[in-house]
Amino acid sequence: MILGFVEHESGVPEETSLEMLTMARELATDEEAVLCAVVFGDEGAALKDELGPYGIEEIHHVTHDRLEGYAPEGWGESVAQLVSDLGASTVAAAGTDRGHEVLAHAGATLDAPMATNCVDVTGAGESYEVRRDRWGGSLVEHARLEGETKLVTAAEHEYPIEEAASTTEPTVNEFTPSLEDAHLRVRVERVETADEEGIPLGEARVVVGGGRGVGGPEDYDKLEELADLLGGTVGASRAAINEGWRPHDDQIGLTGAQISPDIYIACGISGAVQHMVGCKGADKILAINTDSEAAIVQKADYAVIGDLHEVVPELTDAIREVT
Amino acid sequence: MSDSDFPSSADTVIIGTGIVGNSLTYHLAEQGRDDILLMDKGPLPDPGGSTGHASNFLMPVEHSKEMTHLTRRSIEQYDDMDTFTNSGGIEVARTDERMDELERRVQSAKSWGEAGRLLTVEEIEEMVPYVNTDIIKGGFYSEGAGTCDPLRAGEVMRARADDAMEGGLTLSPNTEVIDLHVENGAIQAVETDRGTVEAGEVVIAAGLWSPKIAEMAGAEIPLTPAVHQMVSVGPISFFEDYEGEISFPVVRDMDTQMYERQHGNDLEVGSYQHRPILWDVEDIPSIDEAPLSPTQPPLTDDAFEQSMADALEIVPELLDDPEAGIRHEIDGLLSVTPDGMPLLGPIQDVEGLWSCAAVWIKEAPAIGEAVAQWMTRGWSDIDLHGSDVNRFYEYGTSRKFVENRAHEGFQKIYGIVHPAEQWQSSRPLRTSPFYDRQDALGARFFEAAGWERPQWFESNEDLLERYDDDLEGLKRPNEWDSRWWSPIILAEHLHMRDNVAMVGDMGFGKFDFVGSDVVDYMERMAVGRTDVDVGKTVYTPILAENGGFVSDLTIARLGPEHYRVITGGAAAGGDRAWFGDHIGTDEDVTLIDRSESLCTLGVWGPDARAVVDSVVEEDVSHESFPPYTAQELTIGEVDCWAMRLSYVGERGWEIYTSMGQGQRLWDIIAEAGEEYDIRPVGMGVYGTTGRMEKGYRLHGHELELEYTPAEAGLTFHGVKDANFIGKEAYAEALEEDNAATLCTLSVDDHTSSDGERRFMLGNEPVLNEDGDVIVDEEGRESYVTSAGTGPSVGKHLLMAYLPPEYADEGQGLHVEYMGEQYPVTVDVVGSEPLFDPENERIRS
Amino acid sequence: MNVLACIKRVPNTGAKIVLTDDNQRIDTSNLGFTMSPHEECAVEEAIQQVETHGGSTHVLTLGPEEATEQLRTGLAMRADEATLLETDGEEWGPRETASAIATAIRDLPEDDAEFDLLLFGNESADMANYQVGVRVATELDLPCVTGIKSLEVEDGVATAKREIGGGEEVYEIDLPAVVSVKEGINEPRYASMRAKMQARRQEVGRLEPDRTEAPGTFEKTRLEAPEADDSDAMVLGEGTDAVPEIVELLESEIEVL
């Protein structure tokens, strides 16, 4: 049996879990095993209709009167007990915080091997050939995963979400684990909404950076305006700091802040090594630069070839209209 | 650029977009080149070489005139591009010995026309409040020093080049050289991963990758990547109140071979004190593989330990700032050459291939300018002879040699280096057949162009007693003055003047030229008339088009279509390139390098003829073998060729034979000379004492591109009818009044304030009656070009160019040495010898 | 409060990683080494907690002799003590590693003062197994939470927060506990020059761990370096004409509007 740990939000499965099911279903098909899901939470049973298209035959819904909300050890222990109960050969989860955490606990309890961030798993029975991401995806590891019980997580966004050839009618089995105090000592006590005001450079989700191309201290106002609209923060290159246009603390780079935003909008920055080291944590880089051969344009994900003094104000206006 | 845009041809291809390549491109554009491809394997603006990690400060005052002038000119350029901040710089001294060295810095500052003065501890505290003044004794302040932004300067220069060339500049970053195509000894094309570009002129400005690229053309650029450790500490709260990059002078802690300089709210701490760490260029990672950049590998921690202790001692308050930490630490890779100087100029053996490598940020803009001038018109405003890429030709290009010298030279970067200091590694490398005999006689060998040359012989110590009276007052009590020196040199000199001496081998460059066009060719090369009778010799300047000195050397006519050129060992590589490059493509002239096959033994002194006559088959009487002629001789069993001339002003010959028979020649002369008490004497006599008394000029000292033959007093050739390189400028210089004239001066009083007698060693500034450095109307400072004792005239002699108002025999002036002024008198204006002015000894 | 931070020595790589000829490991001949970024935050967190509450900070690693370099980095950040679980340099799997660390922790610190807080990086930069902390906690029967980006300790209780879409999950855990932290929980300090110098002279404790056999295996056969995507940036347009494309990008792709 292949058991997939399906995360969901009020009965709607997470995309990453559906991706994982593509991996799990391939395994189930190859070894002609039953594909099952394990779900937690009050709305777990509601997944019956959601998971049918993905070929799930059984949904094991974990319920326990002391399991309110997420409890890493309690969930891991529950999965472990379920595996023992069902004799599942493989447990799969999405390569998310929760997926990794629950499987790690289950694996520790079962003393079973675990392969994370897999991009390809093949084989049957007690031996799998695994390919998985290492070094943040810079390397792929080929490995062998062997054991009576095997744990695998699917790297996020590596597997497509695919429906099964034929839709199933999953049965829902309630499973009540036997839990002790120790399994419930760590749990989500509450959920707080994030506070996004006055974010330091290192933590900002959006960073607008200005370099020598900004031309002077006064023109940083344009960048400030854009950053404010996007809930972001303004930074600067060393060249601009050296000119005295911005305070030292605003420097992004080797000897300044290391940023890791969802997007870094680099305006009039050439892309010196010292600067690029500071923004390599950015998910995406958008360069606005007059020089299409500038290093930053080579390294960025997106580029606009143009003068920031024209592009940025117009962009700010356009965003105002949209929001 | 996409591959399809890559040009198929360009007039000039420049490989490397660091500060050097950019500067060269800009200046070539200014000089009129209008079709240049500038390429690099890395991206712009920072392609990943040494330009990207330098600490970027410029301290203009060095003991080398060439480097000081290049740095000053570079500062002007950085400033013009608005990329220079004038912070000033201070070299601090922790020891008395270093304070003396800083006095010498002041001396050099004055000689090279740069601002520089000593600072007291209190003054330093005032200027740089964070320096721990408890451990320093004083400092040298360089007012002109500052910091630059070479990446920004590169952008400006590219933009200016683009403007000047009106579309003639093609920029191709991210383009890697795969091969250089050479045919018939000339560069044809550069093959890259984006395509092949044909070019007749290719410059390698690829920093520490240069040797690898030169190798593709079968050429050699002798440098090695070496580590300079640097860390950046911040944020330092002290700097928060100061805007911008730098508000305090750069501090060089000379005795620990380190520097500390503000960079924003960081302090950059760099070191040259750590053990030398050399890299193999093949081990340097690619841009993609390197976490920072290829030339910024991680800091080798254990090598930096002492540097940290020393830095914490000199700037404790800043480095102990509780908020501050080491934010950046690297083993910065830079290029180191066997003698620490750059590698510039046309590369021997591959026509059209140039080197512009081993250049530091501080001199790069000026070097780009000078090399551009060299490429476009054949000479540069600033003489680059100390940086000629060909100076290691035929001896110093091996990996082992480069590594050994780089290793040894690394400690000299901030060291106190005596002007006569000798290298210790890779020796002996080039030895003449006399070497074993000389070694047995206790020769103290100095090295020139790899050749081992005796400076003096300990076996001549007995002469000290004989000449004790004559040497009174000429011995040097001060340790610095007498370092790398011996009074035996003076005694050897006197013995030669009284009896006879043998000198050799001098390590000359010896080049034969043959071919049906050789007469016209040689006339074109030399100022002196060379279409002379077979058997004549001509001592002549070799000029660039501007009339400045490329070299001075002797040309002998061996046959109707055969000349031999003899030049100093240090200049041999550069001269060979100069002569080789000027052979026209259709000209029937072949250059044969005899440097490694012939050796030279000088036999000079009143008894020289008697000695030679006793063993030679031919008639060597004054009439049969007149002065300034050359003949073949058979001395004992040895076939020789000899010139009757003398750089020490004595009767005698320079005798040449094959290296194989050299030792036999030595033995024959030594044995024949026994009854005349012939002594081997060293280069101390040949190169200094003898030459100074005779007023003979030395290339690189008196003779530079910046001075004309008229100023140097070498106009005895007049203006010949035949055309020659530099003729126009030379003829003009002869017409004009000299802005300065080379004079011989002598020291009137050697006594320093503490009563010790001091002896100048060269490069000291010459001061007028007001104590100001003398400057001629072309802005050139008067300084001591050579210094040496003349035992036969009983004086310490100095040569210096002086403007007309001071160039009067008997004129009293001053020379500054180690912070004190000494009275001197102009003895000779022009080239007349102080000793034997009529050259009777040579002519008898 | 005694805090332990467990770290791992990893190569400091550039954009392109080069493998050895046998494809078994990264060619590190021209690379420096560092500790994984999450672990750097673990060390910083340990030091900050001790700065707030008093006590002592201990850094520990399992690795070859050369890994003392990373322990010294921890000491230079002002950790008090360091221990190396010395291996022959082979890559140890997460279960073996966890078992060796758990064993060592039972023996440390020497004065029997137990660790109140055991910090790990959420996952190592090189292997990314996401499980060593959890497995150590299980072996030692300690409560454990992973993926933490905020940590406060008061009266023996740690309040830990984990980022989720639009907010944070808050955990309250009695100490002693194991916490795996993520980058962003703090700004790791740069070691001061003096601290770095002193750390070089500080003693590092050494233990020789046993490599335990576990049922089932997870074994590397080889590594592969996929072709790097060095394609140029997608050019959205020139000048202000590109504005609509930028808005679209921010809205649909990046989802920051």
| Digit-coded pLDDT (tens) for C229-238 | 666 788 999 9
Pairing of strands B195-198, B201-204: unpaired
In a domain, B594, yes or no: no
CB B557 within 8 A of CB B536: yes
In a domain, B617, yes or no: yes
List chain B residues with CB under 8 Å of A254: 232, 292, 327-328
Same topology for domains A2-184 and A201-322, yes or no? yes
Question: Given pLDDT bands bounded at 50, 70 and 90, which one contains residue C173?
Answer: very high
Verify whether the Cβ–Cβ distance A144 to C171 is below 8 Å. no
Degrees, nearest 5: CA angle B311-B52-A291: 145
Distance, CA of B369 to CA of B382 (rounded, Å):
9
| Digit-coded pLDDT (tens) for A47-59 | 988 999 999 999 9
Rounded CA Rg of chain A: 25
Question: Given pLDDT bands bounded at 50, 70 and 90, which one contains residue A1?
Answer: very high
Q: Please give the helix or strand (H or E) that residue B538 lies within, else none.
A: strand B537-543
| Residue-number span of the structural domain to which B122 is assigned | 84-145+224-336
Please say which residue of B312, B336, B360 terminates a domain.
Answer: B336
ipTM of the complex, rounded to two decimals: 0.91
Same domain, B121 and B248: yes
Distance of residue A141 Cα from the nearest chain B Cα, in angstroms: 19
User: Is the pLDDT assigned to residue B332 strictly greater than 60?
Assistant: yes
Verify whether the Cβ–Cβ distance A295 to B43 is below 8 Å. yes
| Digit-coded pLDDT (tens) for B600-610 | 999 999 999 99
Average model confidence (pLDDT) for chain C? 91
Please compute the mean of the pLDDT values over residues B284-310 and round it to a whole number.
Answer: 92
Verify whether the Cβ–Cβ distance B151 to A270 is below 8 Å. yes
CB B748 within 8 A of CB B727: no
User: Is the pLDDT assigned to residue B426 strictly greater than 70?
Assistant: yes
CB atoms < 10 A from the CB of B134, how many? Answer: 8
| The pLDDT value given to residue A203 | 79
Please say which residue of B636, B668, B690 terminates a domain.
Answer: B690
Confirm or reject contact between B418 and chain C (CB < 8 A).
no
Verify whether the Cβ–Cβ distance B283 to C32 is below 8 Å. no
Cis upstream peptide for B235 (omega within 30°):
yes
Give burial (CB, 10 Å; 0-12/13-18/19+) of A34.
Answer: middle
Distance, CA of C60 to CA of B155 (rounded, Å):
48
**Distance of CA A205 to CAs A199, A281, C165, Å?**
9, 11, 13
Distance, CA of A257 to CA of B789 (rounded, Å):
63
Choose the mutation target among B78, B152, B246, B333 for the interface with A, i.e. most A CBs under 10 Å: B152
User: Is the pLDDT assigned to residue C165 strictly greater than 80?
Assistant: no
Please compute the mean of the pLDDT values over residues B117-137 and round it to a whole number.
Answer: 97
Nearest CA in chain A to B46: A272
CB atoms < 10 A from the CB of B675, how many? Answer: 11
| The pLDDT value given to residue B463 | 97
Please compute the mean of the pLDDT values over residues A122-137 and round it to a whole number.
Answer: 89
Please compute the mean of the pLDDT values over residues A199-218 and round it to a whole number.
Answer: 88
Verify whether the Cβ–Cβ distance C18 to B231 is below 8 Å. no
Same domain, B263 and B312: yes
| The pLDDT value given to residue C37 | 86
| The pLDDT value given to residue A194 | 66
In this complex, which of A188, A192, A306 lies closest to C242 when CB atoms are compared?
A: A306
User: Is the pLDDT assigned to residue A195 strictly greater than 70?
Assistant: no
List chain B residues with CB under 8 Å of C29: 283
Please compute the mean of the pLDDT values over residues C149-172 and round it to a whole number.
Answer: 91
Domain boundaries, chain A: 2-184, 201-322
| The pLDDT value given to residue C111 | 58
Q: Which of A240-254, B40-54, B611-625 has the highest mean pLDDT?
A: B611-625
Nearest CA in chain B to C201: B305
In a domain, B757, yes or no: no
Verify whether the Cβ–Cβ distance A311 to C242 is below 8 Å. yes
**What's the CATH superfamily of C2-207?**
HUPs (3.40.50.620)
| The pLDDT value given to residue C113 | 63
Same domain, B308 and B353: no
Identify which of B237, B680, B728, B765 has the alpha carbon closest to the alpha carbon of residue B496: B680
User: Is the pLDDT assigned to residue C112 strictly greater than 60?
Assistant: no
Tally of domains in chain B = 3
User: Is the pLDDT assigned to residue A196 strictly greater than 60?
Assistant: no
| The pLDDT value given to residue A280 | 80
User: Is the pLDDT assigned to residue B2 strictly greater than 80?
Assistant: no
| The pLDDT value given to residue B399 | 94
| The pLDDT value given to residue A204 | 86
Distance of residue C39 Cα from the nearest chain B Cα, in angstroms: 18
Question: Given pLDDT bands bounded at 50, 70 and 90, which one contains residue C254?
Answer: confident
In a domain, B69, yes or no: no
Distance, CA of B567 to CA of B38 (rounded, Å):
37
| Digit-coded pLDDT (tens) for A19-39 | 999 999 999 999 899 999 999
In a domain, B672, yes or no: yes
User: Is the pLDDT assigned to residue B720 strictly greater than 60?
Assistant: yes
E strands present in B621-672: 630-635, 638-643, 652-658
Question: Residue A225 — φ and ψ, nearest 5°?
Answer: -60, -45
Look at B231-240, B278-287, B329-338, C222-231 and tell me which has the smallest mean pLDDT. Answer: C222-231
Same domain, B229 and B367: no
| The pLDDT value given to residue C89 | 86
Domain boundaries, chain C: 2-207
Percentage above 70 pLDDT, chain B: 100
| Digit-coded pLDDT (tens) for A158-193 | 899 999 998 999 999 999 999 999 999 999 999 988
| Digit-coded pLDDT (tens) for B753-800 | 999 999 999 999 999 999 999 999 999 999 999 999 999 999 999 999
User: Is the pLDDT assigned to residue C215 strictly greater than 80?
Assistant: no
Same domain, B119 and B238: yes
Please say which residue of B690, B722, B756 terminates a domain.
Answer: B690
DSSP codes of every residue in B681-736: --HIIIIIIHHHHHT---BTTTB-TTS-HHHHT--TT---SS--TTHHHHHHHHHS
Same domain, B180 and B293: no
| Digit-coded pLDDT (tens) for B87-111 | 999 999 999 999 999 999 999 999 9
Verify whether the Cβ–Cβ distance B298 to C32 is below 8 Å. yes
Same domain, B351 and B492: no
User: Is the pLDDT assigned to residue A148 strictly greater than 80?
Assistant: yes
Q: The domain that contains B618 carries what CATH number?
A: 3.30.1360.120
Question: Given pLDDT bands bounded at 50, 70 and 90, which one contains residue B3?
Answer: low
Same domain, B42 and B182: yes
User: Is the pLDDT assigned to residue B544 strictly greater than 70?
Assistant: yes
CB B131 within 8 A of CB B94: no
Question: Given pLDDT bands bounded at 50, 70 and 90, which one contains residue C169?
Answer: very high
Confirm or reject contact between B22 and chain A (CB < 8 A).
no
Degrees, nearest 5: CA angle B393-B397-B402: 135
Please compute the mean of the pLDDT values over residues C122-138 and round it to a whole number.
Answer: 94
Kindly report the CATH number that applies to the domain delimited by A2-184. Answer: 3.40.50.620
Kindly report the CATH number that applies to the domain delimited by A201-322. Answer: 3.40.50.1220
User: Is the pLDDT assigned to residue B1 strictly greater than 60?
Assistant: no
List chain B residues with CB under 8 Å of A294: 44-45
Identify which of B400, B355, B391 has the alpha carbon closest to the alpha carbon of residue B375: B355
Verify whether the Cβ–Cβ distance C193 to B288 is below 8 Å. no
